[in-house]
A and B are shown apart, each in its own frame.
Chain A
Amino acid sequence: MNTLNELKCSFPARSENESFARTMVCAFAAQLDPTVEELADLRTAVSEAVTNSIVHAYRDAEPGLIAVTVRLLPQDIIYIRIADKGCGIADIGQAMQPLYSSAPAEERAGLGFTVMQSFTDRLTVTSHIGKGTTVIMRKKLRHGTE
């Protein structure tokens, strides 16, 4: 599909980068003139994906990198890819169940994927044990016309 514009960035999986990551994606998406609510949805969905990589992917290792790609596609579709090279998810179906968390002691609500799913139009998760996890989200900006 034709990419109209693209942003690529990577940063260490450290929690102080959560704010930077969601702000960066939103600043880039602002070109499409999203509504306040659409921007808030994107901000929240990106925050969940990046936080997942920070909390889970490099749990037993030095924090590696998180790579973020944002593309503006025709028809006001925004494509966001967030990838880590961490431990991977053994059972994606289980991980995506609302309220499931592999880190309950850290008071994670187990809602990361639920938020990503609800606040975007399409969510794909691919993961390989020991190789990492990639989350791709797509959202069509409707500018409040629907």
Chain B
Amino acid sequence: MVELKQEPKKLTAFLSGELDHHHVKEIREQIDFAVREQLPQTLILDFLHVTFMDSSGIGLIIGRSRLLEETGGRLEIHNPSQQIRKVLRLSGADRLAVIRCTVCGKEPEHEYAQ
């Protein structure tokens, strides 16, 4: 699911659970509503608590990237797991956003080169 945190110029979407076709629709609507309302300079999609993602998640990333082009913001992807990074690489969606690990100190399996 998704929890949104608004800060000055920044919107963070803390995603959790399984990002498949069944779950992305509602997440997408909530994020888009907040983006259009706040017009953040940066939208962060935080995948730390996402346990599974298929290409429906890629659709979510590509769609938000397009929305931010429209609103003049930029996209960051935080803390994708190894499985998610594999799907990101395959799709090329890893080139649409800055990918960051903000919890490497705590969880070594999240450690990777940007």
Contact = CB atoms under 8 A, between A and B. Distances in A.
Interface residues of B, number: 22
B90 interface: yes
B21 A115 contact: no
Contact of B55 (A19, A22, A40, A48): A48
A16 B55 contact: no
B102 interface: no
A116 to B, nearest CB: 10
Contacts, number: 64
B63 A107 contact: yes
Main secondary structure of the interface of B (DSSP, over half): helix
A134 interface: no
A125 interface: no
Contacts of A47: 20, 52, 54
Given A107-B63, A118-B90, A16 B22 contact: yes
Interface of B: 18, 20-22, 24, 28, 52, 54-56, 58-60, 62-63, 82-83, 86-87, 90-91, 93
